[in-house]
Amino acid sequence: MGMFGGSSKQKASYDEADLLLTAALLAVASDGGIDEQEQAALVNLCFSYPKLKNAMDIGEKIKENSERLVKAMQNDTLEVILKEFTSIDESLKKQCLMIAMEGALANGEVVEKEEQFLENFKNIMQLDDDYAAKMSEIITLRYQ
């Protein structure tokens, strides 16, 4: 298997694009809101992910879901939303953490609440620290 080794794709019972978008939105919203600059950064970020770049009206989806997720985080229903991520395959978990990390950094900095969310998100999905550290290093380099 090469560096970008293939894998057999099975039809998932969940919408991968929705999970990726939700992961990014949760990370950005974890500091209490999503402003217009962050929404624009998320739209651009989404177009860099093959599973998201063909999604219809990604900007509208971001606006609609932003409000819902910010309210969910304020109403302590975040754990219910995060449970959706526990039963997905490991590859998608890694992609969700990666886009969440990128989403948090898209405005140029990661604040403490975003950092706490990312740590919690990684733990809920049972991803190891080494993977998260590698992704953090790569993503930080990308946004320098």
User: Could you give all domains of the chain from N- to C-terminal order, each with its CATH number?
Assistant: 16-142 (1.10.3680)
Cβ–Cβ < 8 Å for 99, 55? no
Q: Which own/partner contact pairs does 112-118 have at CB distance under 8 Å and 24+ positions apart? A: 113/30, 113/31, 113/32, 114/27, 114/28, 114/30, 114/31, 116/30, 117/26, 117/27, 117/30, 118/27
CA distance 101 to 106: 9
Structure confidence at residue 76 (pLDDT): 61
- pTM for the model stands at 0.82
Q: How far is CA 7 from CA 2, 24, 80, 132, in A?
A: 11, 24, 30, 21
| Numbers of helices and strands, H then E, in the chain | 8, 0
Structure confidence at residue 14 (pLDDT): 62
Cβ–Cβ < 8 Å for 107, 37? yes
> pLDDT digits over 89-115, tens only?
999 999 999 999 999 987 788 899 999
Quick one: CA dihedral 25, 28, 32, 36, positive or negative? negative
Structure confidence at residue 3 (pLDDT): 39
Structure confidence at residue 56 (pLDDT): 58
Spans in the chain with pLDDT lower than 50? 1-12
